[in-house]
Structure 1
Amino acid sequence: YDNVMLPGEVCDVMHKENVSLQAAWRILRGLSQQEVAAKLGISQSAVSQLEALDSRPQKRTREKLAAIYGCTQEQISLYLPKEG
């Protein structure tokens, strides 16, 4: 993950809004937690949990989020990935 590049806009949102990486992508794309929840087929509260600072989404969830946000899986989570 040392070579993962994040757009400056994502970093700006993270710092200005004091939010996690996943939340910054969502905000940058102009989506609500409810809209992301509908796209993932989960509840809004589950999206909120995914956006927690210590969240480590599973591979399939990272794939779905990357597709929604138009980025790579590595850009969704800078933590070591959970397999599954």
Structure 2
Amino acid sequence: MITRDSIEQAYSFFHQKWRVYKFSTMEWQRDDIESAIGDYVAMMSPDLYQAIARGNSHYLLDHTAFAADLESAVDRLEQLLA
């Protein structure tokens, strides 16, 4: 079950991390953000993860697609809050 509270928490966390990641020029900082997001994904509501991943089992977990995934996660969570 997806609660509004779980959406708000995920949105706040992902939005904050996206704003830093987007403008960061430090690889270590970007790696730390990827790790933090991976940890969050591991503990977040499976239903919410499935809703934003839309069938992509590596969503937010694949280094090569991470930036695009994080940006889309923020957008998708924002849509769920509307």
**Fold conserved between structures, TM > 0.5:** no
- If the length of structure 1 is used for normalisation, what is the TM-score? 0.32
Structure showing the higher helix proportion among its residues: 2
- If the length of structure 2 is used for normalisation, what is the TM-score? 0.33
Greater relative CO, 1 or 2 (CA 8 Å, sep 6+): 2
